[in-house]
Chain A
Amino acid sequence: MKKIFTTLCLVIILTILTACGNESGGGGDDQYVIRIAWWGSQMRHDATIEVIELFMEQNPDIYIEYEFFDPDGYWTAMNTRVASDDVWDVFQMGGNFQQYIDNILDITPFIEDGTIDVSRTDESFLNTTYFEGKMVGISNGVNSNGIAFDPALFEEAGAPLLHADWTWDDFANSAMIIHENLGIYGSSALSDFIALTILVTQSGANFFDPATNSTTLGFDDPSILVPYFEMRRDLVQAGAFPDAGRLATITDIEGDLLVTGDAAMTWVASNQFITVANAAGRPLELVPLPRLTAGGESGMGLTSSQMLSISNASPYPEAAARFINFFQNDEEANRILAGERGVPIMSHIREMLSENADENLATVYAFVGLAGELDTGLGNPLESPNNPEIRDHFEFLLEQVIFGQIEAEAAAEDLRDFAEDVLARN
């Protein structure tokens, strides 16, 4: 007993000593020290750190301190830093960047003076990170949403294969046919709020009004929202779409119902297609989202899956810009990053990566190319700082409709009123 106790004490003392002896930060006097943060999983952390080290090797005048997080933790950490004016010099941002617009530096000067080289990309890609006259960052990868499906299951069920110009009615019909003939779900989870806002665009309006920078709603008549509520309710009640209990068991995209063979379609952001297809181990195909009417407005657009932005409180914005340039344009760096953050916007990087690309990567590149052609040019009609609150309320209403607590019409009206309230309050 005594022995164990003594050993324990020794271990403790040693830990304390070593842990304290390890407080030294990096960076010499003649170096710019910049801090950078991102979220992701082990693979992304490893690759990003390797790129940072490569950059520091080639740019000895810059020292980079880095922090990485899981996706939930990142935003908690970000918010505490915003509240105390202590934001990192360079940080990863997603579609919610408007929330942090006051902390983001306009990088146009660095593009103009050539610090960030954008000669090998084009307007439609750059526009994904352009907002209110400000260049808020450079996209790490662009995306477009689509539906991935398993052609073999479609054939087995006798459902017509999906193609680029299809409708929400086709979606519902295919789901029903597959469910009736194979006993599995027609489709796995949809990204409901994005689907709803795209449906509004397809109806000839916009969920948020682009003319007021999304500070008001872009539609009046709630009846254009009704079809979506009804479709989701009917599919769940028929058993062709998973209910809340089944959806809760999907842990991540590798465990998606399409991967496990329990559904024949699923919603993916284009960069997720590769993961889904690899995990499924069966040939899958990717088509754009359904439309309201065949040949009608597609509502599709390119979005930046995430970007690197510079803090407007950064003491060394130029050093930060040099890192971003390296991150976007350096071939060796991008060989390490391997396009894991989305389809790269620089043409030479895309070419380099497609040299030894497999079929799935080629599918994604072709898809993003198609989305670029169909791009509505509205930027992202979805983006409003109030998105999370409105989306949360929409999902609550959707569940109420599915459980038969309220009618679709009432839910549509409630959603419009709620969204108006939220926008008016902020």
Chain B
Amino acid sequence: MNKKTIKKITYHILILAFGFVMVYPVLWMISGSLKDNSEILTGSLNLIPDVFRWENFANGWRGFGGISFSVFFRNSLFVAVVSTIGTVLSSACIAYAFSRIKFKGSKFWFGVMLATMMLPFQVILIPQYIIFHRLGLVGTYLPILIPNFIGRAFFIYLMMQFMVSIPKELDEAAIMDGCNKYTVFTRIIFPLLRPALITSAIIQFYWAWDDFMGPLIYLQRPQMFTVSIALRNFADTTSVTDWGAMFAMSTLSLLPVFVMFLFFNKQLVEGISTTGVKG
């Protein structure tokens, strides 16, 4: 064996070993979906259950009072997809304004945008609910979806940082060729922003999937519940909780986000060679 192969093998072994430590808690959760309550709660750290309780999945999937998890999964998918599209598109536009256009008050609005991240949701929650209630939107998906179409500071700023590395000369050249400020965005900046767009989509999809507070207070009928709310409805620590069923559904709820990640991640890897910007 030559030196290079040994190096390669050590690389893979190290990555895998550390990766196993990383995902061990996740694996434990997955194995919990096949255990019964006592085995989960007595802190057995085994990954292989004593008895495989596949019925946890059936018990969990049945949901609550005839509303099964298929409904919750469909709702979550709807919310996550719409909000991902909304967030990515609106954030890209706003980022373009802040990083490429010199308009009056841009510094002020940028500061405001960062400040909106610094006030905890706990004190904003109730006033925001009152607004949506006055608008008659409580009980629909709109209070959860609308905030995604006004951009998210986290992604706006991310895209701004990526635009920094897109040379200004490209814009200037495009304007020479007859583009205006609007078409520079759609033809030059937006396509070149691809890695940042994909990154944002991966993260936002997961955030929307995992969001709990919004759906909790705004969706008023169980038929509209998302998976993240449904999962919490298994647990009442002062009463009886079917932990096995909860773990089973938690495991299933990982699947869509994980698949989405694999899909986008592939795009991210494939995207490199074609879009590499030469600075």
Direct contact of A and B (CB under 8 A): yes
Stretch at the interface among B17-25, B97-105, B122-130, B164-172: B122-130
The answer to whether A395 has its CB under 8 Å from any CB of chain B is no
Interface SS of chain A? helix
- Tell me which residues across on chain B come within 8 A of A253, comparing CB atoms: 237-239
Indicate if A83 sits at the interface (CB-CB under 8 A): yes
B133 to A86, Cβ gap below 8 A?
Answer: yes
Whether B223 lies near A41 (C-beta < 8 A) is: no
Judging by beta carbons under 8 Å apart, are A255 and B125 in contact?
no
Instruction: Give the contact stretch, choosing among A69-77, A223-231, A369-377, A402-410.
Output: A69-77
Using an 8 Å CB-CB cutoff, how does the interface string of B219-260 with A read, 1 for contact, 0 for none?
011110000010011111111111101000000000000000
Q: Specify which of A25, A41, A50, A249 is in contact with B241 (CB 8 Å cutoff).
A: A41
CA A67 – CA B241 in complex, angstroms?
19
The answer to the question of A16 belonging to the interface, with a C-beta cut-off of 8 Å to chain B, is: yes
A180 CB to closest chain B CB (Å) equals: 25
Q: Mark B17-52, 1 if CB is under 8 A from A, else 0.
A: 000000000000000000001100111000000000
B221 touches A71 (CB 8 A): no
Q: What total of chain A residues lie within 8 Å of the partner, measured CB to CB?
A: 52
Q: Contacts A69-B216, A76-B217, A340-B239; is A83 near B233 (CB within 8 Å)?
A: no
> Which of these, A8, A43, A86, A279, contacts B263 with CB under 8 Å?
A8
CB neighbours (8 Å) of B217 from chain A are 76-77, 80
* B74 A42 Cβ-Cβ under 8 A: no
- In the bound complex, do residue B65 and residue A45 qualify as a contact, i.e. CB atoms below 8 Å apart? yes
Contact B238 A71 (CB under 8 A): yes
Given contacts A16-B78, A42-B64, A84-B130, A254 and B240 within 8 Å (CB-CB): yes
Shortest distance in angstroms between B123's beta carbon and chain A's nearest beta carbon?
12
Partner of A44, one of B130, B140, B229, B239: B239
Q: How far is the CA of A15 from the CA of B81 in the complex (A)?
A: 9
Cα distance A174–B107 in the bound complex, in angstroms: 69
A29-71 residues at the B interface, CB under 8 angstroms: 35, 39-46, 48-50, 65-71
What does the 1/0 interface line of A1-18 toward B look like (CB < 8 Å)?
Answer: 100100010011001101
Question: Which A residues touch B243, using CB under 8 A?
Answer: 251
Interface residues of B (CB under 8 A from A): 37-38, 41-43, 64-66, 74-75, 77-78, 81-82, 125-126, 129-130, 133-134, 138, 140-141, 212-213, 216-217, 220-223, 229, 232-243, 245, 263, 266
Q: What is A's interface to B at a CB cutoff of 8 Å?
A: 1, 4, 8, 11-12, 15-16, 18-19, 22-23, 25, 35, 39-46, 48-50, 65-73, 76-77, 79-80, 83-84, 86, 249, 251-255, 260, 269, 272, 275, 279, 340
Smallest CB-CB A-B distances: 9 pairs: A49-B65, A255-B41, A41-B236, A252-B237, A19-B78, A70-B232, A45-B64, A80-B129, A84-B133
